[in-house]
Chain A
């Protein structure tokens, strides 16, 4: 199982995760990142999730395997 972790203290709302993986990440009206899928993601979404995680400039996102 693969799990997405968000460190909300580090997140600065750049929204690059949303751009890279719009099926997984979204920024709400306050600029807070939210997940569109359960934290424990299905294997088919792993590659997209990692793409969204890696573009975060402030390392606020992690994927744990």
Chain B
């Protein structure tokens, strides 16, 4: 089948990558049927405010909803894909229904990793809108919280809980934020968190959830910490379970090439994907901007194959926590202090740049508003662009 004969395209997933792909198909002139299958009961929404505005109760769950898809897209909510028959071009749903396709976009995202034992209740995670609303209700009346995991999500949850007046403990095996921000910037953020009363506990051994049927805290070796609420922010697991018998390439995620191709007439985008790096390693890039770019590229590849243009690598991400609005372009090296291009880090408002061999490799704005294009020129693009 040639791509020009695609009449029915099925998009599996209901988040930003899925929605972007569906829309990009229309923008590129596809006028056949588009069906979006989402296991969630809520219409597509943005995860970005879940750990912030929605969690603290300042924003309603509805405010996180993405603009509705055009009426020409059929959105089937509460429909979970359970299997894929590549030979017969059908998605098998958990209710037994089979949805035929000519072209397929896989964007089933990821689910939160959990630490609870089977049957143990009370562990909170922040991945879906339901998760966030449930946790928001709980922390509105709680006095203390333990957050396991000191990455962006864990630290944002900790920050929100601090604003609500809870006593907050953050537990991690690694130094908070170090892997994401490098030592220098991580120290700045952790300093701001400590100033607001956050207690950090370094777990020297594996972290388990304490309590019987109901989680009451965490256990690190012989040490037990208790709190009213326990939140796990310990990463996520790509949603590839339904693809186990599909024959599609899985390496800790669904393998895509640089045009988001998986197999003939099958593309993928977003948190479910991994891509090969030099050295034979497969890596995920589970950020908003990569989900958007992959959604657009996946749609183009499905419709136009080889002529689809390659995306420009766009390492841009951000976090908001402890009064710091941090935007990042590039990969921050661990260790060295950056050059301060504007502002003053001691005042917690600055434009920072890390350089290698005289060229920018990363740029960060901390409470410093500027056009993002400029930030990218100082960061990721500085090393990618000639001249």
Contacts and interface: CB of A to CB of B under 8 A. Distances in A.
B63 A14 contact: no
B26 interface: yes
B380 to A, nearest CB: 13
Given A31-B372, A54-B66, A62-B67, A47 B26 contact: yes
A55 B20 CA distance: 8
A54 B371 contact: no
Contacts of A28: 371
Interface residues of A, number: 25
A15 B376 CA distance: 11
A42 interface: no
Contacts of B66: 54, 59
B23 interface: yes
B325 interface: yes
A37 interface: no
A13 B373 CA distance: 10
Interface in B1-51: 16, 19-20, 23-24, 26-27, 46, 48-49
Given A14-B327, A27-B372, A31-B371, A58 B23 contact: no
Nearest to A29: B371
Interface residues of B, number: 29
Nearest to B318: A14
Given A15-B372, A31-B372, A58 B67 contact: no
B145 to A, nearest CB: 24
A59 B16 CA distance: 12
Given A47-B27, A51-B27, A58-B48, A13 B369 contact: yes
B292 interface: yes
A35 B162 CA distance: 37
Nearest to B70: A50
A3 B286 CA distance: 32
B64 interface: yes
Given A12-B325, A16-B292, A59-B46, A31 B67 contact: no
10 tightest A-B CB contacts, nearest first:
A15-B372, A31-B369, A57-B48, A27-B371, A57-B288, A31-B370, A55-B292, A54-B67, A31-B371, A53-B67
Given A31-B370, A54-B19, A57-B288, 15 more contacts: A13-B371, A14-B318, A18-B372, A20-B292, A31-B371, A31-B372, A32-B369, A50-B67, A54-B20, A54-B66, A55-B16, A55-B292, A58-B49, A59-B49, A59-B63
